[in-house]
Homo-oligomer: A and B are copies of this chain.
Amino acid sequence: MTTASQTNAAQAPAASGGPGAPKTARGARTRARILKAAEHTFGTLGYHRAGISDITRAAGVAQGTFYTYFAGKEEILRELVRDMGHQVRAHLAAEILDTDNRLEAEERGLRAFLQYLYENPSLYRVLQEAQFVDEAIYRDYYEAFGKGYVRMLANATRKGEIRPGNNEVRVWALMGMSNFLGLRYALWEQDVSFDEIVETLSDLFRNGLTLDGKEKP
């Protein structure tokens, strides 16, 4: 998981009933190649500019082969979002595993996310474009992400690590932060170190934004 170069995407034979899951090892390999190529192509050209021919060319297969494994352009996008969603969640979950408290988890999680985005820029574009191709898949992604996140905050609340509050709202705020910070500082310009970003957010989590940090009555 360190180099993140191998997008292992051959396992799940397709969530719905596509044209047909591969039945041989060769088929599985080809399908995975196409999926991988689509990730790169969508990530570079964008969903709409990318043609099926661009994907198949990148995968080194003929146009028709595409339809052996995917019903169409939209379906491969859906597949991709599901796939990439699992990847990030798994990656971040692993990075956070051995943390002592929520603050540390937030710090490590944010840093890991920024780093992941920097190394896998396609994730952002594929995901954000998916929103306008099939909103449901996009919502699923964030709702899945958010669900686990809320659970973690609930645990932290129980342990007395964070202030009681509306954790669902907090989670959407936190996801939004990461998203924008990633776009700006991991994808657009790396002119501020990830450490600086994490430190800034950490300070916000510890002390808030205002100076007169008085408890609520």
A residues at B contact (CB < 8 Å): 46-48, 102-103, 106, 125, 128-129, 131-132, 139, 142, 160-163, 165-166, 168-170, 172-181, 184-185, 188, 192, 196-197, 200-201, 203-211, 213-216
**Which one, B48, B125, B142, B205, contacts A48 given CB within 8 A?**
B48
Contacts of A125 in B (CB 8 A): 132
Q: Is the CB of A169 within 8 A of B197?
A: yes
Q: Is the CB of B181 within 8 A of A172?
A: yes
Q: Within the assembled complex, what's the spacing in Å between the Cα atoms of A131 and B128?
A: 10
- Min CB distance, A213 to chain B, in Å? 6
Contacts of A172 in B (CB 8 A): 180-181, 184-185
Q: Within the assembled complex, what's the spacing in Å between the Cα atoms of A103 and B211?
A: 10
Q: Is the CB of B176 within 8 A of A180?
A: yes
- Min CB distance, A117 to chain B, in Å? 13
**Which one, B106, B179, B207, contacts A176 given CB within 8 A?**
B179
Q: Is the CB of B139 within 8 A of A132?
A: no
**Which one, B48, B160, B179, B213, contacts A207 given CB within 8 A?**
B213
Q: Is the CB of A170 within 8 A of B209?
A: yes
Most buried by B among A125, A128, A163, A178: A163
Question: Which chain B residue lies CB-closest to A132?
Answer: B46
- Min CB distance, A188 to chain B, in Å? 7
Q: Within the assembled complex, what's the spacing in Å between the Cα atoms of A196 and B167?
A: 12
Most buried by B among A131, A185, A206, A208: A208
